Structure 1
């Protein structure tokens, strides 16, 4: 369900947690740094309510030393470590995160697990969730679905919407718990309503595929539309692709193209690639290599490397075909 690296760094608790003490420690050490690496580490660390995010972003492009190796961040980590050893649960959580992501240090999941466990014992909800995801994935330790379910349930009960979705999926599959379809669907819907839009994508996928629930194409489309209407550009493009291609049992070219346009206007550059491939392969539209090239070129100009590669392959194939005809 989740990529563990993404989960460990995802900003899913910004509204609930105050990392100002950790933020102040880090910035006091790196503020005068000329090393790009220190500011990259700050951005990767992704503190809740980080006060210096915009400045750090700017400093990654203006630093005198463009070496990505941090210079002063390790000093901040030493101070966070000392704070954690004094019993500060927030600092314990951050020591876990630093080791889990390898921020200004070698990635060390055993150390991360130890710190997350200490923070969990002190009642830190974020640590409980991250530890739960590690037990769920078996990344760095032996997978333990039952323990993962217990830890993630703590997060879900304390307003962690991603944990709520994880618990929902575990209830649907029976991983680490008794299978309960109704409760699993309810958890996913609650996570969506609380702001975790990807829970709606999970529901859409479940109904489209008929996995753990009866297949229901209408409900699949309905959930994907609900996510798109919340402003999720990727979901706009996914629904657009389904409607143009007819790949999910319903075809509506006009609405599909409008959704693609909305996705592009909201910054989902990959929509260029999907449009180009529809025209290249003739899925739901008449095969048109000129249109395919147009969309690939638009995406390449917007910085999408996959569009650039697709355009190059399309041009190479066209040249090869032309040579054979001569």
Structure 2
């Protein structure tokens, strides 16, 4: 269920943390930079309350395809942040961990990231505690330690980090790093969803559909996925649409499924083109229709989805080979 890279870059704490000092350091170094790479690094760094995000996006978009992607001045900003961290600033320690975890203007080094995250955690930084917890949970860059992960994530959950609350909920349901407590785990997932972390609803849906750690309940699986979709989550709209068209989760409703796909597309989830095309290509829940498959792949390719372009090319190659075989 966990995607570590995605979780490490969550904006769940966007309104709870002040990164203004780090932001000022970075921008003072890169503001006059001719390098697109510096502004890409700024966007990837994804500072809380980043004051210059719009300008960084504009500067990145304004550079040509032949622009130098290498950051020129970001490394100097990192050295200033390092000095701040070495002087005991927990926020700077967290950002040093993040720089190494993502390889922002430096080589990715999870060992170094973990060291900085641990120092920040020791000084009470909750973001560092959560990121460290997910790394210990996944065993990414460190020997997996589920019990330590549970303790670290619980600290984050207790301090209002709703994505950590959802992780703790899943761990309680599955007994990962702790004694199983299904009732409490489900409650924590619901609380995380109610607090605005929509992916907690997807976790609940997955649990009820799978029926491994809780009794299987297809109705509850659909209900939770629908609740997430109704909150405006485009990916969940497409997932539910796929389930309803294919009938893969115990219900089949083509009309409702297509409406959900349309909503997902209107909300910008371009991958929905790929999923629709593949349903028609494979005849999964619908009559096999390669023309419809090509149409949806083509729509996605025009919208810039590389996987749709590849799927369309593969489909056209297969059709051409079939025609040659018949000749």
> Which category of TM-score, normalised to the shorter sequence, fits these structures?
over 0.9
Instruction: Compute the displacement of 1:63 (Å).
Output: 4.4
Aligned residue for 1:112, secondary structure, equals helix
Aligned residue for 1:190, secondary structure, equals helix
Kindly indicate whether the alpha-carbon contact (under 8 Å) linking 1:240 and 1:259 is maintained by their aligned counterparts in 2. yes
Whether 2:41 is the aligned partner of 1:41: answer yes
Instruction: Compute the displacement of 1:120 (Å).
Output: 0.9
Residue matched to 2:12: 12
What is the CA–CA distance in structure 2 between the aligned matches of 1:279 and 1:124, rounded to whole Å?
Answer: 49
Per-residue Cα deviation, 1:37-85 (whole angstroms, up to 9, x for no partner): 1111111110001000111111123348822211111111111111112
Residue matched to 1:296: 297
What is the CA–CA distance in structure 1 between the aligned matches of 2:287 and 2:79, rounded to whole Å?
Answer: 62
**TM-score (norm. length: structure 1):** 0.97
Aligned residue for 2:34, secondary structure, equals coil
CA RMSD between the two structures: 1.3
Whether 2:268 is the aligned partner of 1:267: answer yes
What is the CA–CA distance in structure 2 between the aligned matches of 1:214 and 1:66, rounded to whole Å?
Answer: 55
What is the CA–CA distance in structure 2 between the aligned matches of 1:152 and 1:266, rounded to whole Å?
Answer: 32
What is the CA–CA distance in structure 1 between the aligned matches of 2:112 and 2:307, rounded to whole Å?
Answer: 37
Instruction: Compute the displacement of 1:214 (Å).
Output: 0.6
Instruction: Compute the displacement of 1:231 (Å).
Output: 0.3
What is the CA–CA distance in structure 2 between the aligned matches of 1:3 and 1:256, rounded to whole Å?
Answer: 26
**1:1-326 equivalent positions in 2, closer than 5 A:** 1-63=1-63, 66-326=67-327
Per-residue Cα deviation, 1:240-290 (whole angstroms, up to 9, x for no partner): 111111111111111111001000111111111111111112222222111
Stretches of 4+ moved more than 4 A in 1?
A: none
**TM-score (norm. length: structure 2):** 0.97
Aligned residue for 2:59, secondary structure, equals helix
Kindly indicate whether the alpha-carbon contact (under 8 Å) linking 1:205 and 1:220 is maintained by their aligned counterparts in 2. yes
Aligned residue for 1:91, secondary structure, equals helix
Kindly indicate whether the alpha-carbon contact (under 8 Å) linking 1:34 and 1:63 is maintained by their aligned counterparts in 2. no
Instruction: Compute the displacement of 1:2 (Å).
Output: 2.0
Aligned residue for 1:66, secondary structure, equals coil
Residues matched between the structures, number: 326
Which deviates further from its counterpart, 167-176 or 222-231? Answer: 167-176
Aligned residue for 1:294, secondary structure, equals helix
Kindly indicate whether the alpha-carbon contact (under 8 Å) linking 1:243 and 1:251 is maintained by their aligned counterparts in 2. yes
Kindly indicate whether the alpha-carbon contact (under 8 Å) linking 1:81 and 1:95 is maintained by their aligned counterparts in 2. yes
Instruction: Compute the displacement of 1:5 (Å).
Output: 2.0
Instruction: Compute the displacement of 1:227 (Å).
Output: 0.4
Kindly indicate whether the alpha-carbon contact (under 8 Å) linking 1:43 and 1:57 is maintained by their aligned counterparts in 2. yes
What is the CA–CA distance in structure 1 between the aligned matches of 2:33 and 2:199, rounded to whole Å?
Answer: 38
